[in-house]
Structure 1
Amino acid sequence: MLHGNSRGIGLGHNSVVRERGNDYMMFHGYDPKDDGLFRLKSLLLTHVREGCSQASLN
């Protein structure tokens, strides 16, 4: 689940992409620090335990 913050609002439609052995969460959102423009964003997923990953907008 994605939660918005000062770096992204209206986050959604996420999927996971594997590139060179790393997993990334791809999603769209609006960037309040860039005049609220729509952006495609990616976050590196960190594997915290078997079957569980996390990512952070911070």
Structure 2
Amino acid sequence: MDEISTGLHSSTTCQIVKCIGNFVHLMEATVLMALLQPAPAPETFDLLDDLVLLSEDYM
């Protein structure tokens, strides 16, 4: 899933991630999603099982 948080309030993004997480655990599936800036609320990251942070250095 790409940019599911674009244009959404952080609480809405958190609710969507929670719903996706429930589905993933129920179906024993895997989902890869990209959350771009502005960063979602810290509570959203607590809902993720694994997290990989990517950054590009513009120096």
Q: TM-score, normalised by structure 1?
A: 0.25
Higher relative contact order (CA 8 A, sep 6+): 2
More helix per residue:
2
The structure with more strand, counted as a fraction of residues: 1
